[in-house]
Amino acid sequence: MNELQQLQEKIANGTAVVGIYGLGYVGLPLALRFSEVGLKVIGFDIDERKVQLLNAGQSYIERILPAQIQVAQAKGLQATSDFSRSQEVDALIICVPTPLDAHREPDLSYVTNTLEAMLPHLRPGQLLSLESTTWPGTTEEIIAPRLRSRGFNPGENFALVFSPEREDPGNPDYGTQDIPKVIGGMTPSCLSLGSALYQHAITTLVPVSSPKAAEMTKLLENIHRAVNIGLVNEMKIVADKMGINIHEVIRAAATKPFGFVAYTPGPGLGGHCIPIDPFYLTWKAKEYGINTRFIELAGEINHYMPHWVVQKVADALNDRSKAVKGSRILILGLAYKKNIDDTRESPAVEIMQLLADKGALIDYSDPHVPSFPAKRDYHFDLKSVALTAEVIRQYDCLVLTTDHDRFDYQLLQEQAALIVDTRGRLAKRSNTITA
């Protein structure tokens, strides 16, 4: 029996050990799901704080309760920053970020650094799955050669697949196990092994012909959303100039039972996927002499939206004989979408910075984000402000950037001198401006 046949047997009988690399919003739910179905899981992360919290039975993600961590621990879940333990696992699943660099080009350093940390400790008969969103060809052009350089040949003594994450934080209808999982293997045997592993944890698998097809699938999903959000954001600007409420128009258009999908405008794009992933394809397409004009135009519009909001704030203050400089402004909602604690790429943060650069005195309130998180490009030493009538009246302007259900909107509108609403959540009043 060769190494891959032994791996197949371990996966089939449920004795395979799963390693999850990157214990964030994607990796931790996946680790808990594999633990839930009875597989032993070792979670790897370079962030010692996460490792310590998990091993103490605590959570650092709002929607994941400590009790869930503790149940998984009882089933064998461990967290570590020691990559030498990679030799203990049978399946290695990479769930690390793939951001853009300062030039808006793909930054695969998290992926490659993780792989380089793994490589000295790999052994024949393991399965590696990359879940991090990336450009088509990454698995075959970046991952596979590094494996082969150490004698690990996909389809012979090692298995390699790409299976993009599809997490939707805060979605009550779709948990990790409910979201169909796309998977592409380097060889048919790789695909078979990867599918067998994920079948333990995911209800529906969607096999495709290659890692490239799986990589392109994830990009198409997010580009579809980015382009349509760019369209509706542009429509919002046009409607505003015409004195039309775009949210009323969208609600009316959505009554059509065919041929229309409602997208809502906002202050910009947030989350790790939609603001970033389209540019992975834009970058790769240039290698083939193709300019992705739709993607780039949507990116321009969506990137502009925080600036649009800041201008609306400035205009609204000006109408009340106030300047942005010196005004006390409270940002309502730091997360990139409502009812979650995820602030990755949140347009609210950029709006804060733009207003601060203009001299505004900035605070924020977010019931899901008690203190401003560490970020590469933004540094605010702030804690969330509790919303009372007295506190609200202290600000010259409130900017609703994330429409959390836990906000008391009646109180806000009754007490605020001015609110700029970027989400279309508030009723029309003299102190409320839609942006």
Is residue 279 a contact partner of residue 106, using CB atoms and an 8 Å limit?
A: yes
Q: In this model, does residue 350 exceed pLDDT 80?
A: yes
368 in Cβ contact with 338 (< 8 Å): no
> How large is the average pLDDT for residues 151-163?
97
pLDDT interval class at 424 (50, 70, 90) = very high
Does the domain at 3-209 match CATH 3.55.50.30? Answer given as: no
Q: End-to-end CA distance of the chain, in Å?
A: 65
Mean pLDDT over 83-111 rounds to: 95
* pLDDT value at residue 55: 97
The pLDDT, as a whole number, for residue 11 is 97
Q: How far is CA 433 from the centre of its chain?
A: 29
Q: Which among 95, 190, 273, 397 is annotated as catalytic?
A: 273
pLDDT of residue 151: 97
Whether pLDDT at 336 is above 90: yes
CATH level 3 topology of 301-434: Rossmann fold (3.40.50)
Q: How far is CA 378 from CA 127, 132, 311, 330, 375, in A?
A: 38, 24, 20, 17, 6
397 is catalytic: no
- Whether the CB-CB separation of 76 and 35 falls below 8 Å is answered with yes
Flag whether pLDDT at 162 surpasses 90: yes
DSSP 348-403: HHHHHHHHHHTT-EEEEE-TT-SBPPP-SS-----BPPP--HHHHTT-SEEEE-S-
Instruction: State the Cα–Cα distance between residues 182 and 422, nearest whole angstrom.
Output: 34
How far apart (Å, rounded) are the C-alpha atoms in residues 295 and 287? Answer: 16
- Round to whole Å and give the CA distance between 107 and 119: 20
Sheet containing strand 41-44, edge to edge, reads 78-80, 41-44, 18-21, 91-94, 127-130, 159-162, 181-185, 205-208
- Taking 80 as the threshold, does the pLDDT of residue 289 lie above it? yes
- Mean pLDDT lowest for which of 169-173, 206-210, 361-365? 169-173
32-61 average pLDDT score = 97
Q: What is the pLDDT of residue 236?
A: 96
User: In angstroms, rounded to a whole number, what is the distance separating the alpha carbons of residues 384 and 407?
Assistant: 13
Distances, alpha carbon 245 to alpha carbons 41, 248, 265, in Å:
51, 5, 11
Q: How confident is the model at residue 189 (pLDDT cuts 50, 70, 90)?
A: very high
**H helix runs in 44-187, sequence order:** 48-55, 66-74, 109-118, 138, 144-148
* pLDDT above 80 for 1: no
State mean pLDDT over 318-323.
97
Judged by phi (left if over 0) then psi (alpha if -120 to 50, else beta), residue 51 lies in alpha
- The C-alpha angle 197, 142, 93, rounded to 5 degrees, equals 25
The domain ranges of the chain are 3-209, 301-434
The average confidence (pLDDT) of the chain is 96
* Torsion sign, CA atoms 184, 186, 188, 193: negative
Q: What is the pLDDT of residues 380-418, one digit of tens each?
A: 999 999 999 999 999 999 999 999 999 999 999 999 999
Percent of the chain with pLDDT over 70: 100
What is the H or E stretch that residue 93 is in?
strand 91-94
Helix axes 3-13, 188-199, angle to 10 degrees: 20
- The pLDDT assigned to 285 comes to 94
Sheet holding 328-332, edge to edge: 361-365, 328-332, 397-400, 419-421, 432-434
Q: Looking up tokens 């990116």, which residue turns up?
A: 299
Q: For 66-81, what is the mean pLDDT?
A: 97
Residue 375 confidence (pLDDT): 87
Q: Is the pLDDT of residue 169 over 90?
A: no
What mean pLDDT is predicted for residues 359-374? 96
Q: If residue 310 lies in a helix (H) or strand (E), which one and from where to where?
A: helix 293-319
Segment 54-83 shows an average pLDDT of 96
Q: Which value, to the nearest 10 degrees, does the dihedral of the CA atoms of residues 300, 97, 172, 207 take?
A: 100
Query: Does 275 have pLDDT greater than 80?
Result: yes
Mean local confidence (pLDDT), 130-159: 97
**CATH topology identical between 3-209 and 301-434:** yes
Amino acid of residue 415: Q
> pLDDT at position 172, please?
83
pLDDT of residue 170: 80
- Rounded Cα distance, 294 and 301, in Å: 11
pLDDT score of 53 more than 80: yes
Q: What is the pTM of this model?
A: 0.93
CA angle 229, 305, 422 (to 5 degrees): 85
Q: Do 207 and 240 touch, CB atoms closer than 8 A? A: no
- Helix and strand numbers, DSSP H then E, in the chain: 15, 13
Residue 219: which H helix or E strand, with range?
A: helix 211-241
Q: How far is CA 252 from the centre of its chain?
A: 30
| pLDDT value, residue 102 | 82
Rounded to whole angstroms, what are the CA distances from 129 to 21, 89, 115, 178, 190?
A: 10, 13, 11, 19, 10
